[in-house]
Amino acid sequence: MKLTVLIIGCGDIGITLGRELLSEGHRVIGMRRQADALQGSGIEPLALDLNDLEGASASALPQADYVVYTVSADRFEESAYQSAYPEGMKRVLGVLEQHKTPPRRIFFVSSTSVYGQQEGEVVNEASPTESTSFSGNLMCEAEQALLNHSLPGTVVRFSGIYGPGRDRLIHQAAEGRIAAVTPVIYSNRIHRDDCTGILAHLIRYQENGNPLAELYLGSDCEPVTMHNVMAWLAKQLKVESTETMQSPLRRRTSKRCDNSRIRETGYEFRYPSYKEGYAQVLKEGGFLPTQA
């Protein structure tokens, strides 16, 4: 059956997801402030700012079978996160609840920054969220706005997303920089294409008559220390690490994400660990040294 999917905040994740859904024969509408970036993608553009939805009527957003909320804050400031996440989510819900035929499900792309664990604990969907950052707390507030609403919703918490164009660690490793061995900081990662793969999979999963949980952790199958990730990258790049990156004064979170729940739905990771994923980014991005 051909579905209509509305992607709110249709940036890198949204466009990649949209292309996957289009390849399956679905209709995709992408909402963003500047819709020019959607030209040529096959995604129907909807130029709209979340702030324009304040008190808006049902006609402000098109009818859709599924809605994916994948908004990014435009800067790392509390006011920007407040606007993009809890306030934006509530405005969208206020419009969608007026539709005669409401969406079958709304997905919110959240983050594992909602966890505040610091000692390498294993976390899953049942673990407490005790973030010490405004970003994590505001993500939690947006999650609850969706899950407490009468419309059906599912939150997917993605860990550190990397992939084409998301190559900060590669550049740092190429410069000879490496994370310290101690304190041990665990890094949880997921390739962009697995983010979109999970979202498309969950839509198919519900369409096939399976019940969805309210919450899934989206992270690959191998939590690893930041030091080991960067050491592996340096080896691939044939670079000697000469500078140890100092940990920030206020200690970062350190946790190990358990992705059992999403795997139990039958999702198979395209890039099960950082090695497969970064190998793809290194190759496709032209980072690898040429052979002599």
Domain boundaries, the chain: 4-162+190-219+256-270
Distance of CA 108 to the CA centre of its chain: 9
CA atoms within 13 A on the CB side of 206: 19
Q: What is the pLDDT of residues 47-100, one digit of tens each?
A: 999 999 999 999 999 999 999 999 999 999 999 999 999 999 999 999 999 999
pLDDT average, residue stretch 172-198 = 94
Query: Which is nearest to 155 in space by CA: 100, 89, 209?
Result: 89
Q: What is the pLDDT of residues 258-291, one digit of tens each?
A: 999 999 999 999 999 999 999 999 999 889 876 5
DSSP state of 175: T
Q: How many residues are given for the chain? A: 292
pLDDT category of residue 249 using cuts at 50, 70 and 90: very low
CA distance 161 to 257: 13
CA distance 45 to 195: 22
- Percent of the chain exceeding pLDDT 70 equals 97
Backbone angles phi, psi at 286, to 5 degrees: 70, 30
Q: Which CATH superfamily is domain 4-162+190-219+256-270 in?
A: NAD(P)-binding Rossmann-like Domain (3.40.50.720)
pLDDT at res. 132:
83
Sign of the C-alpha dihedral, residues 122, 124, 127, 131?
Answer: positive
CA distance 288 to 285: 8
Q: What is the pLDDT of residues 215-247, one digit of tens each?
A: 999 999 999 999 999 999 999 999 999 999 876
Contact partners, residue 16, CB within 8 Å, separation at least 6: 192, 193, 195, 196
Distance of CA 96 to the CA centre of its chain: 22
Backbone angles phi, psi at 6, to 5 degrees: -100, 120
Q: What is the pTM of this model?
A: 0.94
Q: Is the pLDDT of residue 253 over 90?
A: no
Q: Where are the beta strands (DSSP E) in 151-213?
A: 153-158, 160-162, 177-179, 186-187, 189-191
Which amino acid belongs to residue 87? E
